[in-house]
Amino acid sequence: MTSPIYVALDTPDLETVRSLAARVKTHVGGLKLGLEFFAANGPGGVHAMAELGLPIFLDLKLHDIPNTVAKAVQALRPLAPAILTVHAAGGRSMMEDAKAAAPAGTRVVAVTVLTSLDDQDLAATGVGGSAHDQALRLAALARESGLDGIVCSGAEVKAARALWPQGFFVVPGVRPAGDAAGDQKRVVTPRQALDHGASILVVGRPITRAEDPDAAARAIAATL
């Protein structure tokens, strides 16, 4: 069975990322490459990481007018990522166009509410209600837009799964019991996230900053 753990490799240095990925690849199910990595290494860096043979989650959180996002997704087609992110806040037309432009084998998932935000942060941007309610509103919009799933915190995934039983749910901000939350405000353990309906778990610093990343990945996998 393929591991649901995708390791977040959020650093600009290609050799550091490649070395880390090579160390943990037998205990993770995929590699998450974010904006920092892509800004530094571009498509060539993604191709280099794909050579390791693991699925690539390209986490660029695209958010712009529908035509611009569709053209960006078309430009990314040669990379054939397993998963690609857009922002649900970009609206229905943007999400529809992003999905239409993506390769057939790419899951397009919408970011609902970043795990670094809480209710007060949302209120400061003019969004009323709780982060939980906003995530569910955006989950419904993503489903209606024809996307494959969403990115949400472990605090919302159970309700989102009930709302969208066939959805694909990416849960970041996952921390093993006792680990520091860092800049994440809505965190759960890997076991809790899976039990609540997560499809894949995104784990970064608990693996990448561990003294022995492979042992850390193996220990997290053992809790599942």
Q: Give the dihedral of Cα atoms 117, 120, 125, 130; nearest 10 deg.
A: 80
Mean pLDDT across 93-117: 95
pLDDT band, residue 19 (cuts 50/70/90): very high
Return the active site residues: 61
Q: What is the pLDDT of residue 115?
A: 81
Distance (Å, whole) CA 149 – CA 102: 14
With H, G, I as helix, E, B as strand and everything else as coil, classify residue 173: coil
How many helices (DSSP H) and strands (DSSP E) are in the chain? 10, 8
With H, G, I as helix, E, B as strand and everything else as coil, classify residue 74: helix
Distance (Å, whole) CA 59 – CA 85: 5
Digit-coded pLDDT (tens) for 159-191:
999 999 999 999 998 877 655 545 445 568 899
- What the chain holds in terms of domains, given with CATH numbers, is 5-222 (3.20.20.70)
Q: What is the pLDDT of residue 189?
A: 87
Mean pLDDT across 81-101: 98
Instruction: Report which of 107, 69, 59, 110 is spatially closest to residue 88, judged by C-alpha positions.
Output: 110
Q: How far apart are the first and last CA of the chain?
A: 12
Please state, rounded to an integer, the average pLDDT across all residues of the chain: 93
* Six-digit token string for 159: 């309700």
Mean pLDDT across 16-25: 95
Mean pLDDT across 63-78: 98
Q: What is the pLDDT of residue 183?
A: 47
Q: What is the pLDDT of residue 173?
A: 81
Digit-coded pLDDT (tens) for 196-221:
999 999 999 999 999 999 999 999 99
Q: Within its chain, how far is the Cα of 207 from the centroid?
A: 16
